[in-house]
Amino acid sequence: MNITQKPTIMALLAGALAFAVACSQATPTPTPPGATPIAPGNGAPPPTGGGSPLITGGSSVEAAGYSYYTAPQASYGSPQTGIWVGGSGRVVITPDLATLSLGVESRSKTVEQARAEAAQAMSAVMDVLKKNGIADKDIRTEYFNIQPEYVWNDFSKRQEITGYRVSNSLSVKSRNLDGVGALIDAVSLAGGDLVRINGISFSAEHPETYAGQAREAAVKDAMAKAQQFATLTGVKLGKLVYISETGGNVPVYQDYAKGMIAAAEAGALPPTPISPGETEVTITVQAVFGIE
């Protein structure tokens, strides 16, 4: 090769190398299949066509073909828009229905003897209930059980059956609240020591009537609160867009079993006093109103 041509060849090689380096810097590195594309500038993946817009703290910005929105813009029209309030309604009523849980319980060496004693006592109780005006439809057996009773034998190191227990319980409805005490006394006398009074509850026989009144009061309460919020904040109250009943309470339960057992143990003979008192029907609602 001619020595005079070497500078020319070297210059061409240097130019080709410089061009190759420049092209490699200008050409973006291809993204591997399945990799997440990263938008320039913030290091975060841009939103795709089916996803939610990225929430930022600044104004709406468009960069590299992607739109970014502020939090107020993104949340416009969400379920939190409007005036959200809760309302409650309460109706105080005097109960008109008493429900007694009562029964008999017997223990004996054999199943048959325990069952027979319980059956005899329950028959006497049922007769008293019917004589006091309780209809068959208001008497329901709610529990019946026969089970053995055990005692631990230290000598044999095992449990041994000592006898059997029979339990039979009723749910009894009475609309004569003034006569509930006398009814309990009559039942106790008929069944003797086998009688068990488990409790008594007072309620309204048709609670739906009072629930409707409480519901009306709850809705009015919610509307009044919404109007007050609108007035205080200087906006115009819009239409109701959502309402839901979130809770309620109709019956009230009062347990007199302990008091009656204590009176029986003390040998008290006076009539059993029973007072139904008052009960409450409460309804709560949640409502959402628009803002005009």
Tens-place pLDDT, residues 141-170: 999 999 999 999 899 889 999 999 999 999
**Phi-psi group of 43: left, alpha or beta (phi > 0 → left; psi -120 to 50 → alpha; rest → beta):** left
Domain topology for 79-96+204-292:
Translation Initiation Factor IF3 (3.30.110)
Enter the tokens of residue 71: 């939090």
The CATH T-level fold of domain 98-203 is Alpha-Beta Plaits (3.30.70)
- The burial class, CB within 10 Å (0-12 / 13-18 / 19+), for 230 is middle
How high is the pLDDT of residue 133?
95
Q: Are 70 and 58 spatial neighbours (Cβ–Cβ below 8 Å)?
A: yes
Q: Contact 174/183 with Cβ under 8 angstroms?
A: yes
User: Is the model's pLDDT at 59 over the cut of 80?
Assistant: no
Backbone angles phi, psi at 262, to 5 degrees: -65, -40
Mean pLDDT is lowest, of 143-147, 231-235, 247-251, for 247-251
* 108 three-state secondary structure: strand
Question: Residue 180: its pLDDT value, please?
Answer: 94
Bin 268: left if φ > 0, else alpha if -120 < ψ < 50, else beta.
Answer: beta
- Quick one: which of 126, 144, 143 has its CA closest to 135? 126
Instruction: Spell out the domain ranges in the chain.
Output: 79-96+204-292, 98-203
Mean pLDDT (the chain) is: 76
Burial status of residue 174 (CB atoms within 10 A of its CB: 0-12, 13-18, 19 or more):
buried
Q: What count of other Cβ atoms lies within 10 Å of the Cβ of residue 285?
A: 21
How much helix, strand and coil, in percent to the nearest 5, is found in the chain? 35, 35, 30
Range with lowest mean pLDDT among 6-15, 53-62, 110-119, 219-228: 53-62
Residue 29 is predicted with a pLDDT of 46
The predicted-structure confidence for 66-83, as pLDDT tens digits, reads as follows: 333 333 333 334 557 899
Residue 130 has pLDDT above 60, yes or no: yes
pTM of the model: 0.58
DSSP-derived 3-state class of residue 194: helix
Q: Give Cβ neighbours of residue 112 (< 8 Å, ≥ 6 apart).
A: none
